[in-house]
A = this chain, B = another copy of it.
Amino acid sequence: MANYGFIGSGLMGNPMAMNLIKAGHQLTVYNRDASKCQNLIEAGATQVSTPLEVVAAADVTFCMVADPEAAMAVCFSPHGVIQGVGPGKGYVDMSTVDPQTAEKIGISVQARGGEYLEAPVSGTVQPARDGELVIMAAGDEALLEKAQPGFDAMGKKTVFLGEIGAAASMKLTVNMMMGSMIAALSEGLTLAQASGLEGEALLDVLSAGALACPMFKGKGAAMLAENFTANFPLKHLQKDLRLAVQLGDHHRVPLANAAASNEMAKRGCQMGFADEDMCALIKTVQSPQKK
């Protein structure tokens, strides 16, 4: 069994860390709000009070925090990750960040002799609990071997994508497509209902055909139930659409569909739904009288 560390014990990080413990790995944990690690300690984890101490204690440290700013802070604060890495230490950042942030962190880790993987995931809270995440990894392939037992505990599939930045690009591409599909579902359900059809009937037809996917099932039901409790907040979807469109700008790839979805998501945030689930996007398509 491996000697792992885990930084971040939020909605995603906590169940991921728990799956590492359940798989029998030795785990050192840190979270800014220490109280959120309580269940992990009870399950056998050792808690420390800085990211530096996690890295000092573990061979491979995983990190799952909310955004690029948090990922940078964890690394570059006075008692941060960078102070602790060096030869024989591996750092695996599973947070969703842009390619530039991934590169900054990776270069700094490598400059001190450490090994680095960016490893963002596809999947939200339930798959995190079930150990069913899809893990997109890129960076030092040598570290992949040491991290793999951990990935196997947290996810159902790991894809290795090459050099640093590749996993962030993949994650943005997937989330861009997710945004377009949430927009398509929002328009489809609203058009169906405006045409006199039952929304459930559309979901039923979709589930039987070539477009059937888990997201339509889950988010379609949530839209019809007007359950907008955030699983993945609309503002995060909009952020990913924005970053994907900018990636397209960088590579001169026209993205008319994603850009239209991005503006819909911006409209949704402007209307006050930023902190609701991404499926609140349907409210930008529905008649205001509807609500």
Residues of A within 8 A of B (CB): 99, 122-123, 134, 136, 156-157, 159, 161-163, 166, 169-170, 173-174, 176-178, 180-181, 183-185, 187-188, 190-192, 194-197, 201-202, 204-206, 208-215, 218, 238, 242, 244-249, 251-264, 266-267, 269-272, 285, 287-289
A173 CB → nearest B CB, Å: 5
Additional pairs, 12, CB under 8 Å, beyond known A195-B247, A253-B285 = A122-B208, A134-B208, A161-B201, A170-B195, A178-B210, A187-B248, A191-B247, A210-B215, A246-B246, A252-B287, A256-B264, A257-B257
Copies in the complex: 4
| Docked-complex contact A211 and B215, CB < 8 angstroms | yes
Contact A288/B260 with A195-B166, A253-B190 known, Cβ cut-off 8 Å: no
What are the residues of chain B within 8 A of A256 when measuring CB–CB? 183, 187, 256, 260-261, 263-264
What are the residues of chain B within 8 A of A289 when measuring CB–CB? 272
| Docked-complex contact A214 and B215, CB < 8 angstroms | no
A247 CB → nearest B CB, Å: 6
- The binding surface of chain A is classed by DSSP as helix
The contact of A159 among B188, B196, B201, by CB within 8 Å, is B201
A236 CB → nearest B CB, Å: 14
A89 CB → nearest B CB, Å: 27
| Docked-complex contact A210 and B173, CB < 8 angstroms | no
- How distant is the Cα of A270 from the Cα of B192 in the complex, in angstroms? 16
| Docked-complex contact B214 and A214, CB < 8 angstroms | no
Q: Which of A122, A174, A192, A261 has the most CB of B within 10 A?
A: A192
What are the residues of chain B within 8 A of A180 when measuring CB–CB? 180-181, 183-184, 187, 257
| Docked-complex contact B184 and A177, CB < 8 angstroms | yes
